[in-house]
Structure 1
Amino acid sequence: MNKLKLGVLGVSNHFVKRVLPALKKSNLVEIKAIASRDVEKAKNIAGEWGVERYYGSYEKLLEDKEINSVYIPLPNNLHLEWIRKSALAKKNIICEKPLGLNTKEVEECITIAKENNIYIMEAFMYSFHPQWKKVKELIKTKEIGRICAIHCFFGYFNIDPNDIRNKIEAGGGAIRDIGCYPISVSRFVSGKRPKRVISLIRRDENFKTDCLASAMLDFGEFHSVFTVSTQSFNEQKVYIYGDAGVIEVLLPYNAYADVPLSIRVKNPLGIRKILFEISDQYQLEFEEFALSVLNNREPPITLEDSLENQKVIDAIFESEKKKNWIEI
């Protein structure tokens, strides 16, 4: 069986705790090498997880001819740099969200992919979980009628000054780290793009990052409202309100890989709980990317989709400055 020959640039906690265990379960993805500027760290992780090779620099990994694709879980401000370098090495790329820091950077990614004849995919893992495919199906079949509103909350508490999510120079902050999810969800389930946006943002006095952010996305036919925070109780929920019912997604983003999930549907017929078997959304995400590369077809999350999401993020920050609605 053909497999994706994957190299990993950086050994972030997210990669080690969530992604690496998922990849080791896959029959479609083979991690050939990992790279870290801390070579001992790379060596230890490679040894623990049975990864064939390790490198003390990202450049060395990109020189590895056996690797045809790379995963980039680096800080946000380093994404574009290593997308550029990986593309020049003719590696396909799956990169953590957000793909870039602004629309201009994502547009450059589109150009890079075309010029180097490679695939680039932004890693929105949530969309590969069966619960979201079901939500989309329920909306398409009018289980809750016409969408009127979407309400989302996503928060966690982190005031560690050494965490990259609290470093503004690294592209940290709530919107880029977790606000991208409710934006994506609203577009994913509706198949539409917002016309305008308005936001309210509070910044941490020391970090200067957005630690509490709310936004309203005007889709014309419906509104999507969300709040995200890096300094709140650890919680996440999505409610999709229709004119004939409601869908409640209880664990929308960080779905556990070893626990079955459920969603609730309320309509005039009553309350229905829909259960899902245990699924690892990271494994599913990388396997879909692998199938795209191996079969020479566009990944399920297109660069055009990433660009549309980034346009909303940019508009949210512009609204913060202008304190008004921003057309998208």
Structure 2
Amino acid sequence: MKKLKLGVLGVSSHFVKRVLFPLKHSSSIEIYAIASRNYEKAKKFALKHDISKYYGSYEELLGDKDVDFVYIPLPNHLHVEYIKKSADAGKHVICEKPLALSYEKSKEAFDYTNTKGILLMEAFMYKLHPQWKRAWEIVQSGEIGKVRSIYCQFSYDNEDPSNIRNIKEYGGGGLYDIGVYAVSSARFMMDEEPKKVLCELNRHPEWKIDILSSGILDFGTKRSMFTVSTQAFPYQNVSVFGTSGVLSIKVPFNMYPDVPGEISVETSIGKRTIFTKPEDQYKLEFEEFARAISEKIPLPVSVKDSLSNARVIDALFESAKRQSWTEL
């Protein structure tokens, strides 16, 4: 199969640390072009990493007729603007989460790309890792009984005031950055949408972004709870509690590409550990998106899924503002 040519908007640290290396070893994707608002930065990066084209503006890259699709890892507040510009240029788009800073803006972006015949996908890479497929199969098998609750903890420590995740105007804060994973994974494992939510946010006194966020998603007869923090010891875990047992995913989101996924299951019979094949979830994510372009298969993260997640995030912010339950 002919390799699809990828253009990247911005030399983001996330792209460099998580995406660059695995895609250099892809059989279906070529990192063909890179753009930065600093031409010399783009040039230096491209020459270092053997990338064919480099540009001093995002618009120049979008004007390259050989680019098949683009990756947008820009600050959150720029996502919708460059999704639309990419669609205008005829480029399919994989965009970092959150795709937009509200449900309405997310819907606007999806509607716009749809009218242009452009594929748009939100980059929830964890869904492509085999450990989540295996966890889903175990839950569906009934081994832990009927699901009653899910708990997610996700945290890291970032106290750099210049980091984009700590700038309110850029869409910074823990709920947008990692709370979206807690919501997405709960909706995935519950296989339904919450009816109401409750949320409490602790904000940084100067930066005004949420640095400690806790929420409850009420699904009627079951609930999901989470706490995420951008100023705490780095940690992540997801546990699914059923009527007959509990399932836990040790590293649910930022899984190492060379380490097996680890799932523990505990029931009245005893405790067992399941390991899944080491995989690079970013490579899988981009290659599945490329297949959706080339082979017209469904996107691994659907439009409906992304919009449903955005609606819940909106409701959590509204709940924190009102200090009460918010219905969806």
User: Which TM-score applies when normalising by structure 1?
Assistant: 0.98
* Residue correspondence of structure 1 range 110-129 to structure 2 within 5 A: 110-129=110-129
| Cα displacement string for residues 73-113 of structure 1 (whole angstroms, at most 9, x for unaligned residues) | 00000000000100000100000000000011111012112
Corresponding position of 1:91? 91
Tell me if structure 2 keeps the 8 A contact 1:4–1:293: no
3-state SS of paired residue (1:154) = strand
| 1:313 Cα deviation after fit | 0.5
Tell me if structure 2 keeps the 8 A contact 1:7–1:69: yes
3-state SS of paired residue (2:64) = coil
Corresponding position of 1:319? 319
Corresponding position of 2:62? 62
Corresponding position of 2:52? 52
3-state SS of paired residue (2:307) = helix
Taking only the aligned residue pairs, the percentage that are identical comes to: 50
Deviates more, 1:314-323 or 1:268-277: 268-277
Cα distance in 1, alignment partners of residues 306 and 197 from structure 2: 17
Cα distance in 2, alignment partners of residues 40 and 292 from structure 1: 34
Note if 1:248 corresponds to 2:234.
no
Note if 1:214 corresponds to 2:214.
yes
Cα distance in 2, alignment partners of residues 122 and 53 from structure 1: 25
* Residue correspondence of structure 1 range 1-328 to structure 2 within 5 A: 1-328=1-328
Cα distance in 2, alignment partners of residues 36 and 170 from structure 1: 17
Unaligned runs of 5+ in 1: none
| Cα displacement string for residues 278-304 of structure 1 (whole angstroms, at most 9, x for unaligned residues) | 210000000110100111233121111
Cα distance in 1, alignment partners of residues 300 and 261 from structure 2: 23
| 1:189 Cα deviation after fit | 1.6
Cα distance in 2, alignment partners of residues 322 and 31 from structure 1: 45
Deviates more, 1:258-267 or 1:131-140: 258-267
3-state SS of paired residue (1:300) = coil
Tell me if structure 2 keeps the 8 A contact 1:119–1:298: no
Alignment length (residue pairs): 328
3-state SS of paired residue (2:207) = coil
Cα distance in 2, alignment partners of residues 177 and 109 from structure 1: 19
| Letter matched to residue 224 of structure 1 | S
Cα distance in 1, alignment partners of residues 250 and 43 from structure 2: 38
| 1:140 Cα deviation after fit | 1.2
Tell me if structure 1 keeps the 8 A contact 2:84–2:113: no
Runs of 4+ deviating beyond 6 Å: none
| Letter matched to residue 175 of structure 2 | I
| Cα displacement string for residues 235-264 of structure 1 (whole angstroms, at most 9, x for unaligned residues) | 011110010111111100000112222110
| 1:267 Cα deviation after fit | 1.1
Tell me if structure 1 keeps the 8 A contact 2:46–2:52: yes
Tell me if structure 2 keeps the 8 A contact 1:245–1:268: yes
> Cα RMSD between the aligned structures?
0.9
Unaligned runs of 5+ in 2: none
Cα distance in 1, alignment partners of residues 54 and 266 from structure 2: 51
Tell me if structure 1 keeps the 8 A contact 2:42–2:54: yes
Tell me if structure 1 keeps the 8 A contact 2:151–2:225: yes
Deviates more, 1:291-300 or 1:62-71: 291-300
3-state SS of paired residue (1:162) = coil
| Letter matched to residue 48 of structure 1 | K
| Cα displacement string for residues 189-230 of structure 1 (whole angstroms, at most 9, x for unaligned residues) | 221110100001110001100000000000113100000001
